């Protein structure tokens, strides 16, 4: 009874929103990196560095959220929900950073249409994650959040399909084995980002069920 009377620390929602905004920036920067790939390794390195900066900013928000969780008595959501959500949000940018580093380390000079399509799907998923997180402060927004979660799940399914198509074409058409291995890894990294956006959608759906 006493805990229900205590004011709840609502700063968690501000931290979620700030992190989700960085996810959108990371997704957009990923698409820019892909679009400007042919401009050379210096441009690629610059975009990879920009993604590193975004990821480090997100890490600071994650650490602040965990620290606040340890010092807050009355939280607006279940403590485990808060922890899971911020960690899964962080996973998205970690994988975007992994993708950028792989592009640079693998010295990728060209990408297939499927890889470019996957990059677009990643960016779309990041946008919808942000839109859903922004609504999380009120369960009155549950219908809109659930719609966004379904869209995120559909994007993850689309990414699976595009990856399978891309890998099939690689094994049929790519003559350079090293390039095949590199591009297969790139496909898998991009698809993994969509898996993490789907993880966030699942957590948000769970929060809605628990608080409706």
Contact 114, 162 (CB under 8 A): yes
Rounded to a whole number of angstroms, the CA Rg of the chain reads 19
Give the pair of three-digit tokens for residue 52. 């590193």
Per-residue pLDDT tens for 27-60?
999 999 999 988 888 888 999 999 999 999 999 9
Enter the CATH code of domain 8-211: 1.20.58.220
Which sequence spans correspond to the domains of the chain?
Answer: 8-211
* pLDDT per residue as tens digits for the range 76-133: 999 999 999 999 999 999 999 999 999 988 888 889 999 999 999 999 999 999 999 9
What is the Cβ-side half-sphere exposure of residue 208, based on CA atoms within 13 angstroms? 21
Using the predicted structure, report yes or no on whether residue 212 has a pLDDT greater than 80: no
Distance between CA atoms of residues 95 and 72, nearest Å: 30
* Contact partners, residue 143, CB within 8 Å, separation at least 6: none
């Amino acid at each position: 009874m006493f805990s229900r009377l205590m004011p709840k620390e609502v700063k968690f929602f501000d931290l979620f929103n700030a992190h989700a905004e960085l996810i959108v920036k990371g997704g957009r920067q990923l698409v820019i990196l892909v679009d400007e790939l042919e401009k050379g390794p210096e441009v690629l390195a610059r975009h990879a560095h920009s993604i590193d900066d975004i990821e480090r900013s997100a890490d600071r928000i994650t650490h602040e959220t965990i620290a606040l969780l340890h010092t807050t008595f009355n939280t607006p959501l279940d403590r485990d929900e808060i922890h899971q959500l911020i960690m899964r949000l962080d996973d998205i940018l970690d994988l975007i950073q992994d993708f950028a580093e792989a592009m640079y380390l693998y010295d990728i000079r060209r990408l297939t249409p499927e890889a470019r399509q996957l990059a677009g799907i990643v960016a779309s998923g990041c946008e919808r994650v942000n839109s859903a997180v922004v609504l999380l402060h009120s369960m009155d927004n549950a219908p809109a959040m659930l719609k966004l979660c379904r869209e995120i799940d559909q994007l993850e399914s689309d990414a699976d399909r595009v990856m399978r198509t891309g890998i099939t074409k690689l094994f049929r058409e790519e003559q350079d084995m090293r390039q095949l291995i590199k591009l297969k890894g790139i496909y898998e990294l991009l698809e993994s980002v969509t898996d993490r956006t789907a993880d966030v959608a699942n957590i948000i759906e769970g929060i809605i069920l628990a608080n409706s």
